[in-house]
A and B are shown apart, each in its own frame.
Chain A
């Protein structure tokens, strides 16, 4: 158990810069999920923490100690790989005991720790088997067990659930979270799946093109996304964006599509009259009704209790709504925008514009 600090971590592969200075402070026992689309640098960041990749500049501190120049072996971290990376020629027991044997622990202690971890994960009956005799879910548990027995300062997870089928993934997700809370080990978890990110993390780091776009708790990110990228990435279906301009002395926005003026519920935004804005509204916050937007529904996706409606405005802007009930038809539909759920972004920078106090 330890804290983790990243200080201005940068990484370039040749001329391509993949990390543009990432800072992060992880408290003891905290579970941080690094989430982002593929190629955003999230795995590279994790590998830099593990020591498998050297940062071009910047520092990594584990438990306050600068580990930047240290080999992976000297960092006392454990990692669960996407491919599990079990040693194919060793039994489950030997897979889990490998790191302990290297540290020269007494045989009896190794046996006890492996046994305890195996029972915790429900794989005690498999200890004599080889990895190729195990199912995907069992391999995943062995990989977890190999990390647990080491009792490391830090757990690193590199998309460990993406090779499992959907049902097992949900089950393992909950199990990882339970284990992590019970053991209280500081953890970094990399994923591209926003549901995994929302459910697993104490805090999330949303990565975008080598930057940490936002670092906050899942609910904070969902309620107050820092920019349009984060707003569009977290939440399913993705947030709708409508171009608008600042109006009424900064207290309202005028939609480009039909000139509708939406007064801000929480106060005025800075800037001149006519400043270009992007208004964000989550599909689940739209309500059917008149006096808002006139939508032409092109596709209805019933999900049982609710339906996702894909439609277009008169000027062709795509808009998605998630409404309760399954009885929706294609064709015209009026929706209203609840003002308290409006997100305001600057159209140029994409940054969130908060209300002035």
Chain B
């Protein structure tokens, strides 16, 4: 049931909304508007001259082979992060849903990584996998496996995927666990009596009942991987070696902040903005039509 509160007059509702509106306006709409404005301009690096160029920045970006490379890289990176974070979280949630000793401790520990800031998480992984000072990095090299993510692009990609996925597992875990716990025990017992073994029970009963949760998480994870992993990549690889870990969001930063190519960077942000709006719309449309069991 929808609950409506009717206010008399304008002053109170406006005062209650104002803080949120101001924050959204100053930190979102204003910079977003700036980005849209700048995406139509070409500016020299010192900001001394600017010129209106229409859609030329967009045309340049969309035909730039290095940008298209970054697009594919982002796609691969996001899909991998989402797949890894979702599957690991689902596995852990299924384990946590069983009656195990110390389940409460186990659940709490699993939720902790979500509270860790991206950059801190990256440093944690750096200390584990740095080829010279990292515990696992040294172990790998000592075992004869050449490990150096600063030289090997594939290894660098693997590392940022692992670090990014690790951070997202907690969030997914909470949702999956809640989803699992909302499945009535008797339905699973009915399936057991109907002759379904645990694996079959999982794929024919549990997983379909979790699919609304899983879809919601898929979108959230894609958005996370596309836009929220800047900190992890920046702290671990700075997009390198070469451009091996340069995703779209990292490229916006490189082009805009490092190379001061503001027009192109702004155009890239606008494209990303459109992308996130599209994902959010898919999400909303889906939630409206969501099937309630």
Chain A CB within 8 A of B46 CB:
no
**Assuming A83-B184, A86-B187, A89-B205, what are 16 further A-B pairs, CB within 8 angstroms?**
A51-B192, A52-B189, A71-B192, A72-B189, A73-B197, A75-B193, A85-B190, A87-B187, A87-B190, A87-B191, A88-B209, A102-B196, A102-B200, A103-B195, A132-B293, A146-B190
Chain A CB within 8 A of B194 CB:
yes
16 A-B Cβ contacts within 8 A?
A: A52-B189, A72-B192, A73-B195, A73-B196, A73-B197, A81-B189, A85-B184, A85-B186, A85-B187, A86-B190, A88-B293, A89-B208, A98-B191, A99-B194, A132-B292, A150-B194
B191 proximity list for chain A (CB < 8 A): 87, 98
A85 touches B293 (CB 8 A): no
| One of A51, A78, A87, A99 near B205 (C-beta < 8 A) | A87
B194 touches A83 (CB 8 A): no
A side interface size, CB within 8 A: 25
Chain B CB within 8 A of A118 CB:
no
Q: Nearest B residue to A98 by beta-carbon distance?
A: B194
| A79-B193 CB under 8 A given contacts A85-B187, A88-B187 | yes
Q: Nearest B residue to A75 by beta-carbon distance?
A: B193
A83 touches B205 (CB 8 A): no
Q: Nearest B residue to A80 by beta-carbon distance?
A: B190
Q: Which of B235-292 contact A (CB under 8 A)?
A: 292
| A99-B195 CB under 8 A given contacts A87-B205, A89-B209, A89-B293 | yes
Q: Nearest A residue to B293 by beta-carbon distance?
A: A88
**What is the minimal beta-carbon distance from B183 to any residue of chain A, in angstroms?**
9
B192 proximity list for chain A (CB < 8 A): 51-52, 71-73
**Footprint of A on B, CB under 8 Å?**
184, 186-187, 189-197, 200, 204-205, 208-209, 292-293
Distance, CA A79 to CA B184, complexed state (A): 16
A85 proximity list for chain B (CB < 8 A): 184, 186-187, 189-190
B195 touches A81 (CB 8 A): no
Q: Which of A52-73 contact B (CB under 8 A)?
A: 52, 71-73
Chain A 74-98 near chain B by CB (<8 Å), digits 1 or 0: 0101110111011111000000001
Residue among B195, B205, B209 with most chain A CB within 10 A: B195
Chain A 89-132 near chain B by CB (<8 Å), digits 1 or 0: 10000000011001100000000000000000000000000001
Chain B CB within 8 A of A50 CB:
yes
A77 proximity list for chain B (CB < 8 A): 193
**What is the minimal beta-carbon distance from A44 to any residue of chain B, in angstroms?**
13
Residue among B186, B190, B191, B205 with most chain A CB within 10 A: B190
**What is the minimal beta-carbon distance from A158 to any residue of chain B, in angstroms?**
9
A102 touches B190 (CB 8 A): no
A87 proximity list for chain B (CB < 8 A): 187, 190-191, 205
B189 touches A102 (CB 8 A): no
**What is the minimal beta-carbon distance from B205 to any residue of chain A, in angstroms?**
6
**What is the minimal beta-carbon distance from A320 to any residue of chain B, in angstroms?**
38
A99 proximity list for chain B (CB < 8 A): 194-195
A78 touches B187 (CB 8 A): no
**What is the minimal beta-carbon distance from A336 to any residue of chain B, in angstroms?**
51
Q: Nearest B residue to A88 by beta-carbon distance?
A: B293
A132 proximity list for chain B (CB < 8 A): 292-293
| A81-B190 CB under 8 A given contacts A89-B208, A132-B293 | yes
Distance, CA A146 to CA B205, complexed state (A): 16
B184 touches A102 (CB 8 A): no
Distance, CA A81 to CA B185, complexed state (A): 11
Distance, CA A71 to CA B293, complexed state (A): 28
**What is the minimal beta-carbon distance from A353 to any residue of chain B, in angstroms?**
44
B189 proximity list for chain A (CB < 8 A): 50, 52, 72, 79, 81, 85
Q: Which of A275-308 contact B (CB under 8 A)?
A: none
**What is the minimal beta-carbon distance from B185 to any residue of chain A, in angstroms?**
9
